[in-house]
Amino acid sequence: MMNNIFEIAEACLHNPTIDEKLAQTHHAKLLLDNGQLDFSSNQAVQAIGGVKFPEKPILQAPRNMPKRKITSPEGVIAFFHAIAHVEFMAIYLAWDLLYRFRGLPEQFYQDWLCVADEEAQHFELIRQHLRSLNVEYGDLPAHGGLWDHAVETADDLLARLALVPRCMEARGLDVTPAIITKFAAQEDTAGVAILNRILSDEVKHVERGSYWFKTLCNQQGLQPETQYQALITQYYRGGKPKGPFNREMRKIAGFSDAELDWLEMG
């Protein structure tokens, strides 16, 4: 098997087979852990339009996704299928971040490989949970807009960091604790365990996004808080995300009070 991180990334992004993608992701992490991963960048970066996805699930616009409550068995299945899709797309997003942007410190690539590996673990946990409910990932339709931010920021690393870890992924810090409380009230211990694991890792992923966003802004002579506001305003549909925001977790994940105050201004 390959031992170059960018060749493995290209294979993961251009092979739609789920199990091969998971195996290659874990293989790359094992190479990293054993000091056997090659970080040399010799091949041209392929256009983002060449990234390939599985035939299922069928992707739909968010407004066409059915609304279900997690108080019913069908709602629980729909919820975990939706989360499985988010985590599966997160594997792509982590791989694309390290694949598309070159010439950065080796630590940058190590960090996002670790994120890709954890997202793959999350997906595997949820897929196994879905199977215990007699459902396979892909049996239901899924949100079709998660990849749009990657396409829109394919040529702008700061925008990618602002939009993906520091916006999309940070939303999980805001909403997941309340969802965990609902599953706990229903005594769904398996679901609670999965969501707690994901939330714990997501804090680290957002923190890595914050770290690299601020580091690169400082290197370019940009003020990180001003730049964050400008990029969110430019790229986020609707101007900026809606609250409420989990200030405590977002601060652990590298958000400043000024950034949070700006987000909360509405």
What letter would DSSP give residue 62?
A: G
What letter would DSSP give residue 102?
A: -
Residue 112: the pLDDT is: 98
Report d(CA 38, CA 46) in Å as an integer. 19
Report d(CA 37, CA 44) in Å as an integer. 19
DSSP H helices, 4-102, are: 5-14, 18-33, 73-100
Identify which of 109, 224, 84 has the alpha carbon closest to the alpha carbon of residue 166.
224
The torsion of the CA quartet 34, 40, 44, 50, rounded to 10 degrees, works out to 10
pLDDT tens across the length of the chain (266 residues): 689 999 999 999 999 999 999 999 999 999 999 999 999 998 899 999 999 999 999 998 877 777 778 889 999 999 999 999 999 999 999 999 999 999 999 999 999 999 999 999 999 999 999 999 999 999 999 988 889 999 999 999 999 999 999 999 999 999 999 999 999 999 999 999 999 999 999 999 999 999 999 999 999 999 999 999 999 999 998 778 998 999 999 999 999 999 999 999 96
SS3 48: helix
Tell me whether the omega of the peptide bond preceding residue 57 falls within 30 degrees of 0, making it cis.
Answer: yes
SS3 198: helix
Tell me whether the omega of the peptide bond preceding residue 73 falls within 30 degrees of 0, making it cis.
Answer: no
Return the residue matching tokens 């010799």.
42
Say if CB 213 and CB 141 are below 8 A apart.
no
Report d(CA 47, CA 161) in Å as an integer. 19
SS3 255: coil
Residue 11: the pLDDT is: 97
Q: Where are the domains of the chain?
A: 72-264
Give the number of residues written for the chain: 266
Residue 146: the pLDDT is: 86
SS3 183: helix
Residue 65: the pLDDT is: 77
Say if CB 178 and CB 192 are below 8 A apart.
no
- The rounded Cα 94 to chain-centroid distance in angstroms is 6
The pTM of the full predicted model, rounded to 2 decimals, is 0.96
Domain range 72-264, CATH class: mainly alpha
Q: How many CB atoms lie within 10 A of CB 220?
A: 9
Residue 38: the pLDDT is: 97
